[in-house]
Structure 1
Amino acid sequence: MKVSLKSIIGPAFYDVHKHIKNNDYTHYWLKGGRGSLKSSCIGTEIPLGIMRDAQKGLMSNAVVIRRVKDTLRGSVYEQIKWAIYMLKAEDDWDIPDSKLQMTYKPTGQVIIFKGADNPKKLKSTKVFVGYIKYVWYEECDEFESYDKITNINQSLLRGGPEYCVFYSFNPPESQRNWCNKQVLIKRPDTLVSHTTYLQAPKEWLGEQFLIEAEHMKKINPEKYNHDYLGEVTGTGGEVFTNLLIREITNEEIQTFDRLKNGLDFGYAGDPLAYLKMHYDKTRRRLFIFGEVYGTRLSNAKAVKKIKRLNPLNKLVTCDSAEPRTINEFKLLGLKVTGAKKGPDSVENGIKWLQDLEQIIIDPIRCPNASREFNDYEIEKDKEGNLKGEFPDKNNHTIDAARYGCEADIIQSKARAGKNRARYEN
């Protein structure tokens, strides 16, 4: 390396650079707002890594991908070209204007630029020497799903001892977007980094960039939070804005003393959903830390799974619509009772959950509860206006939570009624 990386990579990425250099992780999710320098970091790490690998005798190559091929040259191609020149390595690289490929002259290693709009060509990518170590999905939120990226990875990541896959994006507004959900999943081979322009050297951004950011902050704080801070601000239709998706430690669980158990029966293709929860009434926080979830589970198998999470056989409140199923669960040894329900019980239960200070869900122990609560949004009509009612789909764990917390929901409603009567009198 002929120059100091500190003149190319922003300070917020120094630790990321060390991890990449040491091969500490395989997957690097770099997200953030405008001007956070994440693309500059990745655009530098790829040619730098290829040259460093060559010195070790490792013939690594890279594939840089965007959803649409036409966007490659004006974005990632120019970004990596800039990095090569900043590294003062342009004499060692062939950077043609005629094709979307760069070649490291001393060894023949390449950086290939591909669009995902032609999956067959992308999956048949071959390199002349070595193997594909580096993959970069720029603006990866433009891809339809994580499955599409997984399929590409399965085709590209073959035949090598180590890999480095980058995913860069500005978080979309909606909590439901697959990118926003994917970065919440903890994996030992994955690093997630969130940066903003506030961590970048001001002179790198320029005065006008900062003026525009401050102007947006004044006139439209929510858009500023999304565009410049990279926050998931929501579309306005999210039902639960009080979610905190994080690991709940064993030490925390040992202190839980107000346990709640809720069960929504599965019918036909709908899954059965059981939740184990703790309600911190003082701080108005609901912890969801255990689940049983599955379709076509026999009653015996479901009870066996539930008892593993509820070994003391504490009372489980369930959907009361099927007395016969409740009796079968009782005969199988589960202490269970039907929910009282009543008029507007669904709306009252969801509003009670909405009004909590926090709903903390462990995404490892409860992946389906995490997904359903996070995805639950009020639907829009043909004109794009939000409908008035809560949707009755993909809400099985939400129903289980309502049933398990029913006593507190009823108590809260009764208290509110008394306060309202006292005020009116």
Structure 2
Amino acid sequence: MSQNQVRLTDLIAPAFYPVHIDIKQKLHTYYKLDGGRGSTKSSFISLEIIQGMMRDANEGKLTNAVAFRRYKENLHDSVYEQLIWAIDKLGVAGLWKETQSPLRLTYIPTKQAILFRGADKVKKSKSIKVSKGYIKYLWFEELDEFEGSEKIRSIQQSVVRGGENFTVFYSYNPPKSQRSWVNDQAEFSAPDMLNHHSTYLTVPPEWLGKEFIALAEHLKAVKPEAYRHEYLGEITGTGAEVFRNLTSRTITDEEIKNFDRIRRGLDWGYAADPLHYTVCNYDKTRKRLFVFFEIHVVGMSNRRSAAAVKAENKANKEVIADSAEPKSIADYKEYGVRIRGAKKGPDSVDYGVKWLSEELEEIIIDPDRCPNTWREFYGYELARDANGNFKDGYPDKDNHSIDAVRYALEDDMTRNGWGIGNIRI
């Protein structure tokens, strides 16, 4: 059976038809495909890579591919076998050569190759070379297992070069935690990226078999939340997330012009810990907070950071800072900054975080203007003990922006009808 006799509808689930067309028309470079068990996203990607390389060859273009897993030990039984499956299904096994050591698939007519690499050592990506053409296709399977977006970018910068256009696939089952880097649109996104979600419900039932569907339906009946995560690929959360009232979006210059309750806060830092200065607007009527400016630096002297604060705060409105450093506050006053220390008490951290996470309807953070603020608020979770139970109180780490926002809103927080500045908490 030749490739021309194979119908696309026999191999690709209907949910992926629009993605296939998008790829053929070169509308995007990056394709982030997530979904639950049995969604056939990996099957789709393997078919696209094999078809794409052969189509390129017919057009006189010698393109190659690299398939990545975080650890090389997982390559053979996942992406390698999946691509062999695609070759078989397309009826072109006679045109491809399989090599086990090292793992490699070679298109015999043109010597185009599919390479397989583990991402445990990023520097090795720089040594990836092909004898003919360039590397057009990249596939990161089980994306959530990789260490983070920085690792992915580093690999891509080493591999994606020297060609006309590229197609990069990311496939994964979303982790439970919405705080996972792979679920964070601000942390892992691109203007040229198509996001696509699929489930087993979008696949012809006969492809999956009665047993698969029976197991899914059983889990749906006995553990609906596990079903939603495992089979529907939903981000159900771990229960540890503190700020569930976050919104990541652009805050426009026009909005900022109309803000009338602007607050400023500062958390000190120098060496290991960064200094964090925040500017936000508190919409008291709708209980919304807009965070639209930050300074987040390590190793900056008080003189230089005060100058940076003054450059933003041209009207010299009050800044509320951590009172634990009276010398720094005195320095800022000497440099002309209108500043005072926060009124802190033994429960101020817990009370402040609880107020921000429960009293506010929405905390809107612009991830482009305030990337560190978004990262810390989004990633802030309750700590667990050795038995997996949540510890009392809120963790005091990776929370510099949270502290700065707490200080900024000190006078807006209320407790039993009193302003936080009027009571010891």
Which of 385, 388, 394 lines up with 1:390 in the alignment?
Answer: 394
Which of 47, 58, 61 lines up with 1:58 in the alignment?
Answer: 61
- Calculate the TM-score normalised by the size of structure 2: 0.86
**Alpha-carbon contact 1:183-1:192 (below 8 Å) kept:** no
- Matched with 2:41 is 38
State the one-letter code of the partner of 1:352.
W
Which of 146, 160, 171 lines up with 1:168 in the alignment?
Answer: 171
User: Kindly tell me: are residues 191 and 387 of structure 1, through their superposed partners in 2, closer, same or farther at Cα, counting changes over 3 Å?
Assistant: same
- Matched with 1:404 is 408
Q: Could you tell me how far apart the structure 1 residues matched to 2:408 and 2:274 are?
A: 17
**Alpha-carbon contact 1:276-1:309 (below 8 Å) kept:** no
Q: Deviations over 1:308-349 (max 9, x none)?
A: 544443332221222332233234333323222234111100
User: Kindly tell me: are residues 202 and 246 of structure 1, through their superposed partners in 2, closer, same or farther at Cα, counting changes over 3 Å?
Assistant: farther
State the one-letter code of the partner of 1:387.
K
Which of 188, 209, 214 lines up with 2:217 in the alignment?
Answer: 214
Ranges of 4+ aligned residues in structure 1 off by more than 6 Å:
118-121
> SS of the counterpart of 2:225?
helix
- Matched with 1:265 is 268
Which of 135, 139, 147 lines up with 2:138 in the alignment?
Answer: 135
- Matched with 2:105 is 102
Deviation at 1:56, TM superposition (A): 2.6
User: Kindly tell me: are residues 92 and 183 of structure 1, through their superposed partners in 2, closer, same or farther at Cα, counting changes over 3 Å?
Assistant: farther
Which of 13, 29, 42 lines up with 2:16 in the alignment?
Answer: 13
Q: Could you tell me how far apart the structure 2 residues matched to 1:99 and 1:338 are?
A: 62
State the one-letter code of the partner of 2:177.
S
Deviation at 1:272, TM superposition (A): 1.0
**Alpha-carbon contact 1:184-1:245 (below 8 Å) kept:** no
User: Kindly tell me: are residues 185 and 145 of structure 1, through their superposed partners in 2, closer, same or farther at Cα, counting changes over 3 Å?
Assistant: closer
- Calculate the TM-score normalised by the size of structure 1: 0.86
User: Kindly tell me: are residues 322 and 218 of structure 1, through their superposed partners in 2, closer, same or farther at Cα, counting changes over 3 Å?
Assistant: same
Q: Deviations over 1:245-290 (max 9, x none)?
A: 3333445444433322221121432111112222233332322222
User: Kindly tell me: are residues 48 and 250 of structure 1, through their superposed partners in 2, closer, same or farther at Cα, counting changes over 3 Å?
Assistant: farther
Which aligned pairs between 1:123-202 and structure 2 lie closer than 5 A? 123-181=126-184, 184-202=187-205
User: Kindly tell me: are residues 360 and 194 of structure 1, through their superposed partners in 2, closer, same or farther at Cα, counting changes over 3 Å?
Assistant: farther
State the one-letter code of the partner of 1:394.
D
Q: Could you tell me how far apart the structure 2 residues matched to 1:366 and 1:324 are?
A: 27
**Alpha-carbon contact 1:247-1:364 (below 8 Å) kept:** yes
RMSD over aligned Cα atoms: 2.9
- Matched with 2:236 is 233
**Alpha-carbon contact 2:56-2:62 (below 8 Å) kept:** yes
**Alpha-carbon contact 1:27-1:191 (below 8 Å) kept:** yes
Deviation at 1:405, TM superposition (A): 1.4
Q: Deviations over 1:327-375 (max 9, x none)?
A: 3323433332322223411110011112033222221111101111122
> 5+ unaligned residues in a row in structure 2: which ranges?
421-425
> SS of the counterpart of 2:77?
helix
Deviation at 1:166, TM superposition (A): 1.7
**Alpha-carbon contact 2:29-2:168 (below 8 Å) kept:** yes
Q: Could you tell me how far apart the structure 2 residues matched to 1:232 and 1:120 are?
A: 32
User: Kindly tell me: are residues 395 and 98 of structure 1, through their superposed partners in 2, closer, same or farther at Cα, counting changes over 3 Å?
Assistant: closer
Q: Say yes or no: does 1:314 pair with 2:312.
A: no
98-107 vs 283-292, greater mean Cα deviation: 98-107
Q: Say yes or no: does 1:338 pair with 2:341.
A: yes
- Matched with 1:114 is 117
Q: Deviations over 1:367-392 (max 9, x none)?
A: 10111112222222333332213221
User: Kindly tell me: are residues 142 and 332 of structure 1, through their superposed partners in 2, closer, same or farther at Cα, counting changes over 3 Å?
Assistant: same
Q: Could you tell me how far apart the structure 1 residues matched to 2:210 and 2:260 are?
A: 55
